[in-house]
Structure 1
Amino acid sequence: MRTPPKGLTVPAAACCAVLLATACGGGGAQDGETGSTDRSADIEAALEEGGELTLWTWSTKFDDAVAAFEEEHPQVSVEVVNAGQSADQYTALQNAISAGENVPDLAMVEYFALPQLALSEQLEPVGDWGLDSLEPEFTASSWEQMSYGEGTYGLPNNTGPLVMIYNEQVFEDAGAEVPATWDEFAEAAELIQEDSGAHIASIDPGDAGGVDSLIWQGGGRPFQFEGESGTVDFTDEGTQRVTAYWSDLVERDLAASQPGWTDEWWRALGDGSLATWVTGAWALGNISNTLTDNAGDFRVAPAPVWDEAAPENAENGGSGFSVVRGSDDTALAMGFLEWFSTNEASLDAQVAAGSFPAQTSVLEDPDYLAAEYDYFGGQQANEVLVAASEGVADGWQYLPYQVYANSVFGDSVGPEIEEAGSIQDGVEAWGEELRSYGNEQGFQVD
């Protein structure tokens, strides 16, 4: 039986423009693989021979899975290294590859960073080793996010479909129903404010990923790229609907504009000053491990949708693992990647450590679906998470320089959120900066 998750950390985005140093010009990984090559015999031989591997990740939730691999493959030693969180790791990866020294065999890669790393030819396409045959074992959205152009550059690991964690008592005291739509969310916000002065939610002025997820769910598709050419356009109907909605909530003081993950923000969630947290499925472990005195206060519900007749969801966060070009033993690294990503002992260890998995075998497991969370009042919350994952809309793309894009989000969009201004003006200014930057780096961006 799979156990409920304990904790999972979401990394903050930061500037990593150094990755663009090799992104453009001359061939490029965007051409990717044109077919699949079965090299299972090479992988098996490498596993039997054994050797040493280095795995880069800033998360500790994979330690037990790595230990399980080493127990089954005693001839293989895997060193887990924290080379920095998120963009810090990607910068270190670029530096190691450029220097030709201390290159890891595998690395954790967030979905938003995958295009940038693939385009700069830092990752091995799994189709060259036949691992693209594993596609049916993962959710469609996670596989799509590990792919760029014609190639797939690793295997998915965890995902973050949007859900709503809400304070049940705050809603009951205000006489507010749990909202199924964003219109109902705004109505509940008014009732909650009238009752207690609390905000229904907060929007983070520095969190590009959070705003991107809301736009994704609202039908916006501002980033559209093929290879090194594309568009950045925040004027579509879906984007404008989302930005107008949240500008209105902030202007009416129904939603707060404050940075997330601070002590003040956690206290607001804990004391009911913030009634909900619309976030990725990974957050269940974070809130239960942080607000330990609030056991029983919160419940999990689907994120509100724009159209109940045609509901669509989005992702917020998530990552996979990739084999790094320059690995001393690519075959062995691919063998580890396959086992780590599909073996039941590995998946059980990861779920127990707090991962919301991308693997369909877990999401369809009756024991996993039936798991009850004492922290959430005995709720079978995984049922909500899995349904949220199944509803993720397709067609979303990240920029091939998204790491940089996230780092400058706060310069243009942040002030509009903080000052209750026009978030639409902010994202359009952000878009102008991203078009200019992309063209400066050698992309063709309209």
Structure 2
Amino acid sequence: MSSDGTQRKRSRRNVLKGLGLAGVTGLAGCGSNGSNGSGGTDGAPGTVGDQSVEITFWDYFGGTENEEIEALVADFEEEHSNITVSSEAVPFDEFVDNLFTSVASGNAPHVASYWMSFSTFLEAEGVIDPIDEYLSEGLDPYYDIVEPAATVGDSTYALPMDVHAHMLVTNDTVMEEAGAETPTNFEEFKTAANAIQENTDARPFPLLQDNSPIGAMRYFYGLLLQHEGASLVEDGEPVYHENEGGQRSAEFMDQVTDEFGWDQTSLSDAQERTNLFLDDQVGMMFVGNWQANNFENEDGEIPDDLEFTYHRPYVFPGEARRAWAESNGFFFPTNDSHTETEKQAAVQFVEYITQNNPLWAQTAGHLPATPEVAESEEVTSSPRYEEYDIVSTLAGMAEDGELVYQPPLEFDMYATDITNPLVGIYSQDSDPQDALDQSANAFSSRMS
């Protein structure tokens, strides 16, 4: 297999118990015989039976997320003793290239993880297969909002492990010192930010966290979504450089570090703003739900004296209640040597781990991909659900249909020539309209 990843065959062991997460097997999709595709031995779609099957699984997860994936794999193997999951860690930055190479050489794995909104891109490159005939219940167990990212046309190509999104987080100590109320619209947001600026020594509001081009596009898209009817693309061409939503979003990015003076222009230190937040020197941030992981101390605990709350982020110019979202998804790479039994086992495996995962909600604040898991006691009793309002707020956003994935594109919209001009707006290195035009030209060149 063309990869620099490290092979790590996982033994069957109930590490879930070691994590203190007993009761996971009572969640959706669990059962002694498995709920998906059991019975029969002829290798037709929908059957695995008692045949011994080994499937290969590529993932890029690290740290706690990796430990939790290993726990789920181990639990799946204990309940499905005839299916062995052989896993390989592949660095995220190498994942797409390695996937393309493995498909071309006929060595692609049965399952590969990547951002689920890339379904259209990967399908257009001919490296993934649809899985509808192997699914036990289609996408019915999952939140409705995942369908546009999991499908291409009428076919399903991926299943989501989670849903994560941008949210507004407030440092409640700073907000109290400033006499600022939690904002619910743009006028209230400006009032709160100005109160922080006038009454404290804290920065009111960093928008970008660093000079990551991926982050810049996601933040820009998140701002754009709050303008009713605004979009990145229409009729096969980029329009964000010429519609009011795109132009107002770029103007706001510029104002944060210039006219409003809510943040500084330097983006070289990726941890600077988080550290300031921890020191009660930042009032509000527009961040991913997973950012709370960066609030933990060396013991893996959120400090008792850090007071913060996550909120729906509808406080920017525009009145639409929409927010950028993404999922860690699982795809099924094209490989003619994979048997029907192996394909069914691969889908059965992915259905199991995506429908039995409270772990990422408890430790990373991600929303489980299924409402049944999101509403389970394991999730609703965790601090990231009830104390910091992270998962509970995300669940409400998903239920209300407010979470939006990137548009279906046949190319990578995070390419640096598309995204770097957006960074330049925030750092005051580029005029907003000039940067939009430069970005859109690069965008358009990939669509033609």
TM-score by length of 1: 0.78
> Any conservation in 2 of the 1:321–1:337 contact (CA below 8 Å)?
no
What is aligned with 2:415?
406
- Quickly say closer, same or farther: Cα 1:311–1:160, change in 2 above 3 A: same
- Counterpart of 1:116, as a letter, is F
Q: Distance in 2 between matches of 1:424 and 1:65?
A: 48
Write the deviation string for residues 89-148 of structure 1: whole angstroms up to 9, x where unpaired.
Answer: 0111001111223x11101120332211011121111223345x4322111221221112
> Any conservation in 2 of the 1:312–1:393 contact (CA below 8 Å)?
yes
Q: 1:114 aligns with which of 113, 119, 138?
A: 119
- Quickly say closer, same or farther: Cα 1:47–1:420, change in 2 above 3 A: farther
Write the deviation string for residues 57-108 of structure 1: whole angstroms up to 9, x where unpaired.
Answer: 11113111111111111222112212121x420111001111223x111011
Runs of 4+ in 1 over 6 A off after TM superposition: 307-310
**Aligned-pair distance for 1:55?**
0.9
> Any conservation in 1 of the 2:116–2:330 contact (CA below 8 Å)?
no
Q: Distance in 2 between matches of 1:365 and 1:308?
A: 36
What is aligned with 1:34?
none
Write the deviation string for residues 135-193 of structure 1: whole angstroms up to 9, x where unpaired.
Answer: 22111221221112232202122111332222111111111111112322222111112
Q: 1:94 aligns with which of 96, 100, 125?
A: 100
- Quickly say closer, same or farther: Cα 1:423–1:209, change in 2 above 3 A: same
What is aligned with 2:128?
123
- Counterpart of 1:341, as a letter, is E
- Quickly say closer, same or farther: Cα 1:237–1:404, change in 2 above 3 A: closer
- Quickly say closer, same or farther: Cα 1:91–1:250, change in 2 above 3 A: same
Q: 2:347 aligns with which of 337, 344, 348?
A: 337
1:171-186 mapped onto 2 (5 Å cutoff): 171-186=175-190
TM-score by length of 2: 0.77
1:297-446 mapped onto 2 (5 Å cutoff): 297-305=306-314, 312-326=321-335, 328-342=338-352, 346-352=356-362, 354=364, 355-365=366-376, 368-373=379-384, 378-379=387-388, 381-393=390-402, 397-403=406-412, 405-419=414-428, 421-439=430-448
> Any conservation in 2 of the 1:122–1:324 contact (CA below 8 Å)?
yes
Q: Distance in 1 between matches of 2:233 and 2:38?
A: 35
SS in 2 for 1:320: strand
Q: Distance in 1 between matches of 2:381 and 2:363?
A: 18
> Which is worse superposed, 166-175 or 281-290?
281-290
Structure 2 residue ranges without an equivalent (≥5):
1-15, 21-36
1:247 aligns with 2:254: yes
> Any conservation in 2 of the 1:340–1:346 contact (CA below 8 Å)?
no
**Aligned-pair distance for 1:389?**
2.3
Structure 1 residue ranges without an equivalent (≥5):
7-37, 440-446
SS in 1 for 2:407: coil
Q: Distance in 1 between matches of 2:363 and 2:383?
A: 16
Higher helix share goes to which structure? 1
Q: Distance in 1 between matches of 2:182 and 2:288?
A: 18
Tell me how large the CA RMSD over aligned residues is: 3.4
- Counterpart of 1:248, as a letter, is Q
Residues paired across the two proteins, number: 397
**Aligned-pair distance for 1:379?**
4.2
Q: Distance in 1 between matches of 2:403 and 2:397?
A: 13
Q: Distance in 1 between matches of 2:151 and 2:381?
A: 32
**Aligned-pair distance for 1:236?**
2.3
> Any conservation in 1 of the 2:205–2:284 contact (CA below 8 Å)?
yes
What is aligned with 2:243?
236
Q: Distance in 2 between matches of 1:261 and 1:56?
A: 31
> Any conservation in 1 of the 2:38–2:47 contact (CA below 8 Å)?
no
> Which is worse superposed, 62-71 or 344-353?
344-353
